[in-house]
Amino acid sequence: MSFSRVRASWLAAAGVLLASQSAWAQDGTKLYRELCASCHGEDGDGDGPAARFLTPLPRDFTSGQFKFRTTPLGSPPTDADIIRTIARGVPGTAMPAWSGRIDAAEMAAVAQVVRGFGSTAAPPPAGLQIPDAPALDEAAVARGQVFFQAMCATCHGETGAGNGPGSEGLTDGWGEPIRPANFTRGVYKSGSAPEDLYRTISTGLQGTPMVSFGALSDAQRWDLVATVRSFETARRWERGRVPQPPRSEP
């Protein structure tokens, strides 16, 4: 095959690809307007008509700040990060889980729209590879407690209830008040599996006072995961032991 024929077929293929990509972009924009704009705003600035009723506020995508990432603090998220959030939603907030309502291709298309509202200059760096979780047993909880009391309790409280001395008066990157997570509730914005907590502890939540603790060793981070989860279990255990009021007969 001559050079020019290779080039011609390459150009034809690229043309087909571009055409299908632009149809894809159109679909994404349409879906975004239908499903997301009421909260996140037509222009992605977080100022849709429903926004003023919500705490926390819908994300302002034009800020380029994303909380839920596998990439280092200060970096844009990967496509997979945005898609994961769209699929699972943000538990404990108004952000719905879209898995089962739109398909994988639609999520990918709408994720590109979301990304497009911010600065598209730099491609995201490679995301964190999460190693397999070791045993998160009582020994891990105890080891993690030492770090937790030293580094986390000031915000999250000694018992993980989100009420440490540093928990008052915090604001987020958009100037809104924010509170540290209360671990006794067992509701996590970025997922409750050990791997999810490992990711949050490793990369932090951009635009919040929750910074990255990626400088800790793998083992230290897993120990912290065990400790964070133990606060939830302790609460359940306590609840079981609280004497119940006598049942009144109807």
Per the structure block, which two tokens stand in for 165? 């001395």
Q: Which of residues 126-145 bind ligand HEC (CB under 6 A)?
A: none
| Binding span for ligand HEC by CB under 6 A among 9-17, 20-28, 180-188, 230-238 | 180-188
Question: How far is Cα 166 from Cα 190, in angstroms, rounded to an integer?
Answer: 22
Question: How far is Cα 203 from Cα 75, in angstroms, rounded to an integer?
Answer: 10
Selected from 40, 88, 115, 235, the binder of ligand HEC by CB under 6 A is 40
Closest CA to 125 of 203, 225, 198, 197: 203
Selected from 25, 30, 38, 143, the binder of ligand HEC by CB under 6 A is 38
Selected from 25, 80, 133, 151, the binder of ligand HEC by CB under 6 A is 151
Closest CA to 201 of 233, 168, 228: 228
Q: Which of residues 44-103 bind ligand HEC (CB under 6 A)?
A: 50, 54, 56, 58-59, 66-68, 82, 85-86, 90, 93-96, 98
Phi and psi, residue 68, nearest 5°:
-105, 100
Question: Is residue 109 a contact residue for ligand HEC (CB under 6 A)?
Answer: no
Closer CB to ligand HEC, residue 15 or residue 92?
Answer: 92
Selected from 154, 159, 163, 212, the binder of ligand HEC by CB under 6 A is 154
Closest CA to 136 of 208, 223, 54, 18: 223
Closest CA to 222 of 113, 134, 107: 134
Selected from 15, 166, 177, 214, the binder of ligand HEC by CB under 6 A is 166
Closest CA to 170 of 111, 218, 210, 202: 210
Q: Residue 84 carries which side chain, given as an amino acid letter?
A: R
Contacts to ligand HEC by CB under 6 A: 35-36, 38-40, 50, 54, 56, 58-59, 66-68, 82, 85-86, 90, 93-96, 98, 110, 114, 151-152, 154-156, 166, 170, 178, 180-181, 188-190, 197, 200-201, 205, 208-210, 213, 224, 228
